[in-house]
């Protein structure tokens, strides 16, 4: 299990525990459950790279306590 921190700039910071084998779409669903937004309205980024829903966290080399940027469409 790894812990991923998703932070939108206005002040909402979400910590999610998930597996490296989970997809980005699964991570979005876990974040949506904590924030109360719909998962398909969430965009996860790191700098300028937008993460695609079907790729796993391990493929993107997302490790424990890594911080991702949280945006809304």
Question: Full-prediction pTM beyond 0.85?
Answer: yes
Main-chain dihedrals φ then ψ at residue 46, nearest 5 degrees: -135, 110
Q: Tell me what pLDDT residue 9 has.
A: 85
pLDDT per residue as tens digits for the range 19-54: 999 999 999 999 999 999 999 999 999 999 999 999
Cβ 6 vs Cβ 44: under 8 Å: yes
Write down how long the chain is. 73
Mean pLDDT of the chain: 95
Nearest to 4 by CA among 72, 59, 71, 57: 57
Assigned token pair, 39: 């998962």
- Arch. (CATH architecture) of 2-72: Roll (3.10)
Q: Structural domain boundaries of the chain?
A: 2-72
Coil/strand/helix, residue 21 = coil
């Amino acid at each position: 299990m790894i812990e991923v921190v998703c932070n939108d700039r206005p002040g909402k910071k979400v910590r999610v525990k998930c597996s490296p084998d989970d997809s980005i779409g699964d991570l979005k669903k876990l974040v949506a459950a904590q924030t109360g937004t719909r998962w398909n309205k969430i965009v996860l980024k790191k700098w300028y790279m937008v993460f695609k829903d079907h790729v796993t966290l391990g493929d993107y080399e997302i490790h424990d306590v890594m911080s991702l940027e949280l945006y809304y469409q």
